[in-house]
Amino acid sequence: MFSTSIPVLEIVLRGTVTFLALLALMRIVGQRESGGLGLTDVLVVVLVADAASSGMTGDVDSITEGLLLACTILFWSVVVDAAAYRWPRLAAIVKARPRPLIEDGRLNRHAMRREFMSHDEVLSQLRLHGIEDLAEVRRAYLEPNGMISIIRSDGVDPDGAPTQPPH
């Protein structure tokens, strides 16, 4: 139950390749699809659940293999986050950044195309923030977690509270 049928190095290598390949693919897909979590968070949860479930259901010969694979995935998640923190150029590659959807009341069609967002979807998001007209928006961003943040032209928070002007 605790011995491994696959060499440890192969398990670590499989976990490494899977994590890095899926991270790259998820970055290509775009941030709109990630919902309220960051893409890396979603990736780690799915991979760790899959790795651990194979050990629990007996799809592998030992619990050790599933745990080793889950540890490898968690290790790479921490390494990618730490490296992105340490080297900002790397962060630009592996971490999603906010995408400007509206600038001075005008839609950024390029960002909308990249995220497959229609004009109606953007207007729907504005209405959820109590905004009926694009002219009321100085800036709106699609955040890395898939949410939309809005800075109004009149300096009022979309939820009603006045915002602090930038210094």
pLDDT tens profile 108-155: 999 999 888 999 999 998 999 899 999 999 999 998 878 889 999 887
Q: Which of 9-13, 30-34, 78-82 has the lowest mean pLDDT?
A: 30-34
Give the chain's end-to-end CA distance (angstroms, integer). Answer: 61
Buried b (16+ CB within 10 A) or exposed e, 52-78: bebbeeeebebbbbbebbbebbbebbe
Q: For residue 21, with 0-12 CB atoms within 10 Å meaning exposed, 13-18 middle and 19 or more buried, which class applies?
A: exposed
Q: State if pTM tops 0.75.
A: no
Helices (H), the chain: 8-29, 39-57, 63-86, 88-94, 109-114, 119-128
More confident call, 7 vs 135: 135
Give dist(CA 122, CA 101) in Å, integer: 8
More confident call, 43 vs 58: 43
Domain boundary assignment for the chain: 8-94, 99-152
* Class level of CATH domain 99-152: alpha beta
